Structure 1
Amino acid sequence: MNNVVDKEELNWRLRVFDSLSYPTLIIRPDYTLVSANRKFLELFEEDQERIRNQKCYHFFYKKNTPCRAEDCPVVRVLNTHQGQTVTWRKEGRWEDRVFSPILDDNGEVVYIIESIRDVTRVKMLESELSETKELITRVVQSSASAIVAADRKGRIQLMNRAAKELFGVVNKECWPFDNAEQLYPPGKAKEIMSMLRDETMGGKGKLSGVPATIVSADGEEIPVEMSAAIIYDDDDNESATMAIYNDQRKKREIEKKLKDAQQQLAQSEKMASLGQLAAGVAHEINNPLTGILMYSSMVLEHLETGNPLRKDLECVIEDANRCKEIVKSLLVYSRSTDSRRQIIHINKLVEQSFRLTRDQKIFRNISIHKELDDEMMLINVDTNKLSQVIINLIINAADAMGGRGELIVRTYRNKSAQKVFLEIADTGPGIAEENLNKIFDPFFSTKPKGKSTGLGLSIAYGIVEEHGGRISVKQTGPEGTTFLLELPQYIPAES
C-alpha cells in the first residue's frame, strides 16, 4: 500500500513539475542536471535522456570546467541557501533565470531548481520607457524657456538649465530655494495658485501667458511671462504644479528703446515741421525786408541833415535790419543738423531698425520676410537718421496693411554702378494714383486728422537726399506697395 502511495505522490510531483509554465531544470550541487520539464525540452529542442547527467556549464556554455565562483548563481545558492536571480541576454532575447534551493531535513541544499523566464517584452518596454524618459529630460533641459516643477507641498522637484540660469542658481554652491514660494515676491505664490484654481482665468488648473514677477537667488526681481498648470492624479487630486517662464527684460528694454525712438521720431517730425515753417516764413519775409531796407536807405540819402523825417527813417532801417537778423537766425535754424556718419553694412542697419519695431502690437499679425543679400554692401551714413527712415517706412507699411499681411524687406546691390538698394514691400491696398506725386510733400497725409503730421516721408526724403541717395515708390497697386531706397556704396580706398 505504501509503495502505491509513494508512486502516486511521485507521479503527482512529476506531473506538477512537468506542467510548470516556465522552462525549469533541477540541478545537483555538483552542477549535474537531474531533470527538465516539458517547457524546457521544447525551448531547447532536447530530450530528457540527452540532458540528464550533463553538467550545467557544459550544457549552456559548452565548457569543460565550472564557471568562476563569483559569477555562478549555483554557488551563491549553495553558500547562502537563498534564491538568486540572474538576467541574461541571449541572441536578442532577455531571460530572468531564477535559482531556488531545495533543502533536506537538515537544512542543507540537496538540489537547485532553475526556472527560465522570457522577459524580452518587459526589457523592451523598460528600454522604450527609459528612452522616452531620456527624450523628455532632454527636451525639458534643452528648452529655451525656464521650466520649474514642484510637488503638492511646494517642494521643487525639477528646474531645467534655463530656469537655473534665470533664477541665478547655476554657480551657487548651496541650493537657495527650499520651496516654490521663494521664487516669487511675498504673497504672490498664493495669488498664482488662486488664479490656477479659478476656472474662469484659463480653464481648470491652467494659466497661459500672464505677466508675473519672480525673484532670483540674488534677490533681483525679474519680469516674466508665465504659463502654469496644476498636475492632477487619476482621482483628480492636485499632485504637483509646473510653470514655464520667459524672461521679459530684453523685451522691456527693446520696448523702451522703441518708445525712445518713437519719441525721437516725433520730436524729429516736430522739429522738421518747425524748420519747414521757419524756412518758409524766413523766405517770405526776406523779400519785403530787402525792399524796405533799400528804399528807406535811398530816401535817407536824399534827406537833408536837419530833416525831422531822418530820425524816423533811421528807426525804420534799424528795425528792418533787426528783422533781417531774425530771418537769418530762422534760416540757420531750419537747416539740417550735422551728420555723424559711420561705415556700416546695410543688413546690420536693417536688423538694428527691426529691433526697434518688431515688438509693436501692430506687427503681431504681420508675417515678416527678410531677403537680405549676403554680399559686401557697405554704406557711409548717419545711422540714426537712416534708421529713422527705415523705421518710418516699416511702420507706414504696417499701418497700410491694417496690422495684418506680409512685410518683405530686401537688400541687394549693383556692383558696377556702386549702388546699394533697400526695398520695403507690403501687401496693403496701394497708394491712390492721384496721391503719388504728393506723398513726399510736407504736411501731406492720407491718415485721419490728428493721426499724422504728414512730415514722415518728407523727412525721409530729405535724409536720403542728404546722403546722396534716392527714395521712390517702385510699384504700387491693389497687391501692395514697394518703396525703394538707393544709396551710394562705400568703396574702401586701396592702400
Structure 2
Amino acid sequence: MDNPVSLEYTTLLNTIQAPVFVVDASKNIIDINNYAKRLFHSLDVIGKSCKDIFPECQKSCTCPVDEADYKIPTDSQRCKQVMILNTVKEEVELCIIPVQTAHDIVFLHILTDNDIQNRQNLVMLEKNMTISTLASGIAHEFNNMNAGIQGIVELLLSQEELSSAGVKDLKTILKIVKRATHLIDQLSMLAHRKPSKQMLVNIEDIVDDCISIIKPQFMDAGITIDVIHKDRLPELFLDANKITLALMNIFLNARDAMIDTEQKKLAIITGQDDTYVTITIKDTGCGIKEENIQRIFEPFFTT
C-alpha cells in the first residue's frame, strides 16, 4: 500500500500554482509539476542534475540540500537563483521547501517569480501569432490549388464514356480533395480568418466517410478495421469538419502506433447513453507516453 505521506506529497505537487522542481538528496531532479512541464515544453528535465538547471546555486546562496539536517520540520529558504531556460540564463526567485516522503526528504524548488512565467507566456503568444499568420498564408495557397484539382475532377466526372471503376476512383479523389478543403478550413479557423460552421449531421456518417478515406492506407499496413454502429444515432448540431479532423488525427495516430506491433487492429464503436452520443476508439498500438499526455491538444504537436 502507498505510504499516505508520500501519496499526499505527489498529490500536492500539481496543486501548487507555480513551476515546481523536486530535488533529492543527491541533487538530482526526480519530478516536476505540470506548470514546470509547460515552462520547459518538450525539454526532459527529470533525471538532470540540479546544477544543469540552476548552475550558480552555490554562488548565490547556501545550498539547502547540503545544509539540511534531514529532520522535519526544518526551515524553508527563499533566494534568488540563475536558471537556464531555453539555453538562456534567467534570474529567478525560488522558495525551497523540504518535504518528507516515504523513505527520505526531498526539496521542492518552487519558482515564485511571476515575471519569468509572464515572459514565457508572451513568447508563446508571439509564436502562436506567427503560426496563425503562416497558417493563413498556407491556407490561401492550398485553397487555390485545391479549387483547380476539384474543378478538373468534376469536369472528368461529367464525361459519359468513363468506366464504372474510373467513376469510383474519381469520386474517391473528389472526397479526398473535399477532405483537404476541410483541413484548409481548420487552418483558416486557427488563424481566426474563418468562422466555424455548424449544421445537423450524423456522427455515423462522419465515421464512415473517414474510414473510406483511410482504409487503403490501413490495408497496406496490414491493419484491420472493425466499425460497429450499435444504434442509429440522432442528428447532432455540430461542426462536421472539426469532428472529421479530430477523428482522422486519432485514426492516423493509431496507424502509426501499430506499425511495429504484431497484432494490428482498429475498432470503432458508435453509440449513445442517456446523455451523450459516444465514439469509442481502440487500437493495439504502443500507446501515448505519459510525458506527452499533457500536450496532445496543442496545435501542431507531434512526436
TM-score (norm 2): 0.41
Which has the larger Rg? 1
TM-score (norm 1): 0.26
Relative contact order: is structure 1 or structure 2 higher (C-alpha 8 Å, sep ≥ 6)?
2
